[in-house]
Amino acid sequence: MKRVYWMIPSFVLAFSMLITPVIHQVSAAEKTEQDTSVQEGIDKVLAEIDTLQKAIQGNGELIKINEAGKKIDEAWDLIEEQVEEKNPEAYKNIEESLYPLIGEAQKPSPDMKKIQKLIPETTEKLKDYQATLQQ
């Protein structure tokens, strides 16, 4: 009976040694998938910023501007944690202009000059970060 107690830990150890490389392979695949989703997320944020730019240049309807601000916020929320984990410095840099842009776009009476100043600044920061992901 004592032999059985000795064998169980041996089987557990052997099994864990066999499964560990498989777990690491999955982690590498997840990392690649995560990079892709951050890339796609940034593309989505940039597309929503472009929509905001068009709303301002068009007739400047408050409803469209507020909606664009909301969609930018929603798109950023999807990737925010991943960006912060990967590169806290870039995350902080992006948010210094992104959050004021989102906040201003969602105000009842947004300052169009401020938004037009924040759009290119935020866009540049997002594109710069996206370029670092592609390296």
List pLDDT tens digits, range 17-51.
Answer: 666 555 555 454 455 445 558 999 999 999 999 99
Instruction: Quote the mean pLDDT of the chain.
Output: 84
Name the token pair of 106: 């969602």
What is residue 30's predicted lDDT score, i.e. its pLDDT?
A: 52
- The three state secondary structure string of the chain is CHHHHHHHHHHHHHHHHHHHHHHHHHHHHHHHHHHHHHHHHHHHHHHHHHHHHHHHHCCCCHHHHHHHHHHHHHHHHHHHHHHHHHCHHHHHHHHHHHHHHHHHHCCCCCCHHHHHHHHHHHHHHHHHHHHHHHC
How far is the CA of 60 from the CAs of 14, 41, 53, 107, 109, in angstroms? 66, 26, 9, 13, 11
What is residue 29's predicted lDDT score, i.e. its pLDDT?
A: 45
* Of the listed ranges 1-5, 44-48, 76-80, the one predicted with least confidence: 1-5
List pLDDT tens digits, range 49-72.
Answer: 999 999 999 887 899 999 999 999
What is residue 32's predicted lDDT score, i.e. its pLDDT?
A: 46
Q: What is the rounded distance in angstroms from the CA atom of residue 53 to the CA atom of residue 60?
A: 9
Name the token pair of 78: 């999807």
Does the pTM of the predicted model rise above 0.85? no
Q: In 52-88, which positions are buried (b, 16+ CB within 10 angstroms) versus exposed (e)?
A: bbebbeeeeeeebbbbbbebbbebbeebbeebeebbe
What is residue 126's predicted lDDT score, i.e. its pLDDT?
A: 97
